[in-house]
Structures are given as C-alpha cells and as structure tokens.
Amino acid sequence: MNIRLKHLPLKNITVNSPYGKRNITVNDKSYWWHNGVDLKAPLNTPVYAVDEGKVMIATYNNSYGYYVVLYHGKYGTLYSHLRNYTVNSNDRVKAGDIIGYSGSSGDSTGPHLHFEIRLCKYENFWDRAQCDSTVFMNTVDPMLFIEDYLEKQKEITVKEAIPIVQSAAGLEDRTMDYIVNHYKYGDDLVKKLAKAII
C-alpha cells in the first residue's frame, strides 16, 4: 500500500456504514457490496480532495446523486450523494481543495458522504473484471488509508515539523523560532503545516 492520502475527505471522520459485503435495500434497489465507506456528514459539510489530481467526472446520476470522481495518477477517489459540487470535469485540484458539499442526493436516506478509493488506472475505473468476494470494481476499504493518514498525523512532533516547514518555506532560523515560541499556537501551526507538506 504505497499510496498515502494528503488530506481527509471530511474534517471529522465518523463511519456510519463500513466498506464491504452487506445486504441492504435503498429506494427498492438492493446492494450486496458496499463500494465505499459512508462517513457522517451533516448537510452542507465541506468535502475535500484527498490528493492532488484531475476531475474526471462531476455530474449527477440516480444512484450516486451529485458526485465527483478524481484521478490521482495511481488511484481514483469518488465522493457522492453531494448536495452540490464546486468543480468541473478536467479541473485540476490540490489536496485539501473543496470539491463540493455533503448532501443526500441519489440513493441515500440521509445526508452523509459516500467515499470510495479505487486502486487502478483510470481506464479500469468502472471495470467489474476483478469482481470476487474481496475486490469489487477495483475498490478498497478507504478506512485503511484514512486510518493510516490519521496515524501519521498523530506521530509528528514539533522537533520533526520544524525542518520540514523551514525547508519548504525557505524561512530563517529566527523566523521559525519566533513562530514556534512567540506566536500563539505557533507550535500547532508548524505541526499542521508540516503534515500538509509531507
């Protein structure tokens, strides 16, 4: 798993319904495999691109509702049941860019974000060829990657963060020292910046 998210799809992550096998009926359609994870998201919560990439799809269909597909080079992500999207096909996005707002469009019983990760080339994005009990349409459990991201976030210390921010921003020692020691919440800021850079 050499893919790492650079941002979370939502600011706060709570799983409403996990990835994988299930048997549910929504609006008279039955689904035996859940291609993504349903994340708790009240109506109108900002939804973020998890990595830099290209907007492949920003449209509506009856199942996904308003949805966006991004491609990040080695993998793709899908964000659905949005209230609306704020990007267009062929746009470039950066990690952390807002791509839309959560909603309950399409086959959905209440506001949430259905988020998918597909590990494949874009031309195979909708491929069912690999369908078996564990792999369906090249999807994987997004929580593996989200948990990895959260774990990495926890680990960083101010001491580790300083050189990362310093080299990326080209700041002098005394500027870094001022930010960390004299600026209110400066140490938190430096840690956050470092996490955004790595």
Closest distance to Zn ion from the beta carbon of 68 (Å): 15
Distance of CA 74 to the CA centre of its chain: 15
Segment interacting with Zn ion, rule: CB under 5 A, options 33-41, 52-60, 163-171, 181-189: 33-41
Contact 96, 16 (CB under 8 A): no
Helix (H) or strand (E) holding 38: strand 37-40
Least CB distance to Zn ion at residue 167 (A): 40
Q: What's the token pair of residue 126?
A: 């909708």
Nearer to Zn ion, 114 or 191 (CB): 114
For the window 39-68, what string marks contact with Zn ion as x by the rule CB under 5 A? ------------------------------
Whole-angstrom distance, CA of residue 105 vs CA of residue 27: 12
Q: Which residues pair with 102 in a beta bridge?
A: 82
CB of 162 to Zn ion, least distance (A): 40
* Binding range to Zn ion, per CB under 5 A, among 21-29, 97-105, 108-116, 147-155: 108-116
38 interacts with Zn ion by CB under 5 A: yes
Q: Alpha carbon of 171 to those of 14, 29, 167: distances in Å?
A: 37, 56, 7
- The span of 4-12, 35-43, 56-64, 136-144 binding Zn ion (CB under 5 A) equals 35-43
Minimum CB separation of residue 196 from Zn ion in Å reads 28
Q: How many residues bind Zn ion (CB under 5 A)?
A: 2
Determine how many CB atoms are found less than 10 A away from the CB of residue 162.
21
Write down the residue that tokens 């449209």 correspond to. Answer: 59
Write out the residues near Zn ion by the rule CB under 5 A: 38, 114
